[in-house]
Amino acid sequence: MHQKQRLFFFLFSIISLIEISLVAYNKEDLRFATKPLIVPLLGLTYYFSLNNKGGLLKDAIIWALFFSWLGDILLQKENLFVPGLICFLTAHIFYIFFFARTSSEKTSFFKLRPVMLIAVLAYLIEFMHLLWPSLGAMKIPVLIYGITISTMLSAAIWQYQKLNDRTALYLIIGATMFVTSDSILAINKFSYPFSSAGIFIMSTYILAQLFIVLGAIRYRNNS
């Protein structure tokens, strides 16, 4: 890493650890100073890690991080849950766009075996079945979000054997962590609240963004 990369990644790591500590000790009032910094610091790490910094306004990763950042801010207010959900929905669409646009001379493992992706569909169906009775007026928004994030996960899994093994692994881990984070959030909010949910939600969310960005850096710098 160059100096700026190291600096922003160090700050991202420190702020992330502080954020998780604040969640653990239920210091919600102090999280307004930490949570909004996590994604921008990761975005700066991404920017300064790229060999070619051109065309950033067309970079789906930048836009996904931007809408994730907006979502982080909005979700700090209980009455802004739906706008926050829309922001993260938009972020996932940009991640889908990024995954769909990756190019390689290799063939995805799942292009020859697409039926194996039915596991993601099975998870979505079972998850919605679990949540459905308690969703109330949120049934359709949560269903749309669930379909979108399942599509994002499938698009990430599609990178297996299409891209370099480590690059694909980072992207798949990131997408899986995102589904995990959103699933825990939904279960905690709508169905079965539990005391340590916040720690799991934020830990998996931070890891999700980190691994997707690490995979995107590897792809951008090697393509």
Residues with Cβ within 8 Å of residue 148, at least 6 apart in sequence = 89, 92, 93, 96
Structure tokens, 97: 């766009």
Q: What is the pLDDT of residue 18?
A: 97
Of 21, 48, 25, 47, nearest in space to 34 by CA: 21
Q: Phi then psi for 195, rounded to 5 degrees?
A: -65, -35
Residue-by-residue pLDDT tens, the chain, 223 positions: 578 899 999 999 999 999 999 999 999 889 999 999 999 999 999 999 998 877 777 899 999 999 999 999 999 988 899 999 999 999 999 999 999 999 888 888 787 788 778 999 999 999 999 999 999 999 999 999 999 999 999 999 999 999 999 999 999 999 999 999 999 999 999 998 888 999 999 999 999 999 999 999 999 998 7
Q: What is the pLDDT of residue 116?
A: 77
